[in-house]
Structure 1
Amino acid sequence: MSFEKDWQDWHTSRERYAGAEYGPAALESTNWLITEPAAVDGIPGLWALTEDGGIRGSDLGQTGESVALRGVQTLRLGRRELRRFTRNGTVALRVYNPGRLERERFSGIDAYRPDRAWRVPATFEPTPGEQVTITTVDGAAHESPLAGRLRFTLREKEHELTVTRNAQGALSAVFGDGTNGRETYRFRFLPIDEPEADGTAVIDFNRAYLPPCAFSDQFVCPLPPEGNRYTVPIRAGERAVVLGR
């Protein structure tokens, strides 16, 4: 019962996060900026990069006031929330709108029932100094440190899962499988628990989850590296966003 309850608690928190007022379903636009001020759809004023990598909005409202956005600061203009987003040295202004149609219609995340059989034993092999090419949904590519590879068996065939470390230092993977485009979104993310000292590990596909771009096409999610694309169907974890009328 603990296994199923733990999964249900996780699933409930995922739905709460996805449908939150300023959660991923509320992302309305990602606007790549330059130093020349330009208009951004849905919000007043003109927006541009500053020399120190921040964002400045000018000519806001009748008073012509200006604002600055740096680091992890956020700014509310009416119901919309503005956030600074960086990728490989480029900066964008993201606009979150709780009134976005897809956010208002969000009613849940369809998922497979949890199944212990999808907790797969694996062996972790670290890869110090190795890089992997990460390509995002908009075609941009960059090199990223590779944390290691997990070797595991599915349907009597050997497979490997390439994993990296996120900004918080935790292991994670992006993978595709035989359910994509039919039963599930085009690819999914997967957190990986830290392996034991001897390299033994568990891949829990029950915790496979939808990338942010499943909720808004304004996210620039990483695609699975070539070695993480499987023909075998992995019927575990989250499947698709559920929208009501």
Structure 2
Amino acid sequence: MSTDPAQEWKNWHERRVETVSAPYGPLALTGTHWLADAVEGRIPAVPGEWREDDDAVVLTATAQDGIVLDGEPFSGEVRLTADHTPVGESRLAQGARRLVVLRREGLWAVRVWDPEAERRRAFAGIGATPYEARWAVPATFRPYDEARTVRVANADGVERGLGLGGELAFALDGREHTLQVAVEDDGALWAVFADATSGDSTFRFRFLRPGAPDAQGRLTVDFNRALLPPCAFAEHFICPFPPPGNTLDAAVAAGERTVLTR
């Protein structure tokens, strides 16, 4: 394994390109259909009849709909819960497409993933700034006494709750900054942020996943690995925008910038 940070970054970048361009990667998402908006249980371009029933979604389909459930042709009625498996292993399929049941804040939706999606065919890579050591900086995680939830706009124009567990403190070019972060189940931190390049030379916001802090709250924040959010690859994702205070006045000219197309 390489110990050269620049080579490690290059390897990471190549893996990212492979991941997003995979048959059921983010470029393959062609629709997020909320059942609350379905007219008489019908979803555009999705076979079957769909309805909410408290803690489940009920799908009714005929053999002519061409739906496969758990690997077998399906007809009849089935109750479905949210699908947490990888998209390629989802319970429902129609040909090469995968139909994934989703739940957000009590609302149900069906997502459609299609390896033949136009955006996947047009994808030509991720525009990213080559590695620079100055963008990998020491940081300190300061947890909140209690987890907080703030309402933020999402990429689909709807406000939703964003859980926050503390803040990261770090310095860039001699200036102190903080970012509010979520704490994931494994202790890893996650932030959505913008900076002075956002909407100009980079996408309008990005994600940062610096890992988990040590017992003293110390870790390294590497902006060379700033990530484009899923909604940069397909407009049907519902990515949260940065919470108040997470727009840096510094220009973070590092990490992923844009999606390249043919």
The two structures share one fold, judged by TM-score above 0.5: yes
Change (3 A) 1:214 1:60: farther
Deviation at 1:216, TM superposition (A): 0.7
Q: What letter corresponds to residue 50 of structure 2 in structure 1? A: W
User: Contact 1:55–1:93 (CA<8 Å) still a contact in 2?
Assistant: no
Give the 3-state SS of the residue equivalent to 1:180 in structure 2: coil
Within 1, Cα distance between the matches of 2:102 and 2:65? 28
Change (3 A) 1:134 1:167: farther
Change (3 A) 1:168 1:122: closer
- Identify the residue that residue 14 of structure 1 maps to in structure 2: 16
Change (3 A) 1:77 1:60: same
Structure 1 unaligned residues grouped into runs of 5+:
none
Q: What letter corresponds to residue 146 of structure 2 in structure 1? A: G
What percent of counterpart residues are identical? 38
- Identify the residue that residue 6 of structure 2 maps to in structure 1: 4
Change (3 A) 1:209 1:67: farther
Within 2, Cα distance between the matches of 1:142 and 1:217? 17
- Identify the residue that residue 50 of structure 1 maps to in structure 2: 53
User: Contact 1:213–1:220 (CA<8 Å) still a contact in 2?
Assistant: yes
Tell me, yes or no, if structure 1 residue 125 matches structure 2 residue 142.
yes
Q: What letter corresponds to residue 115 of structure 2 in structure 1? A: P
Q: What letter corresponds to residue 15 of structure 2 in structure 1? A: S
User: Contact 1:46–1:59 (CA<8 Å) still a contact in 2?
Assistant: no
Alignment map for 1:1-245 (pairs within 5 Å):
2-34=4-36, 37-59=40-62, 61=64, 65-66=75-76, 68=78, 69-72=80-83, 73-135=90-152, 136-166=154-184, 168-244=186-262
Give the 3-state SS of the residue equivalent to 1:129 in structure 2: strand
**Can you list the C-alpha shifts for 1:181-205, whole angstroms capped at 9, x where unaligned?**
1111110001022222222221110
Structure 2 unaligned residues grouped into runs of 5+:
67-73, 84-89
> Superposition RMSD on alpha carbons, in Å?
2.2
Q: What letter corresponds to residue 157 of structure 1 in structure 2? A: R
Change (3 A) 1:157 1:81: same
**Can you list the C-alpha shifts for 1:11-38, whole angstroms capped at 9, x where unaligned?**
1111111111111111111011149742
Q: What letter corresponds to residue 204 of structure 2 in structure 1? A: R
Deviation at 1:159, TM superposition (A): 1.1
Change (3 A) 1:22 1:62: closer
Within 2, Cα distance between the matches of 1:42 and 1:62? 11
User: Contact 2:82–2:103 (CA<8 Å) still a contact in 1?
Assistant: no
**Can you list the C-alpha shifts for 1:29-59, whole angstroms capped at 9, x where unaligned?**
1011149742222222222223432341434
Within 2, Cα distance between the matches of 1:241 and 1:62? 35
Q: What letter corresponds to residue 101 of structure 1 in structure 2? A: E
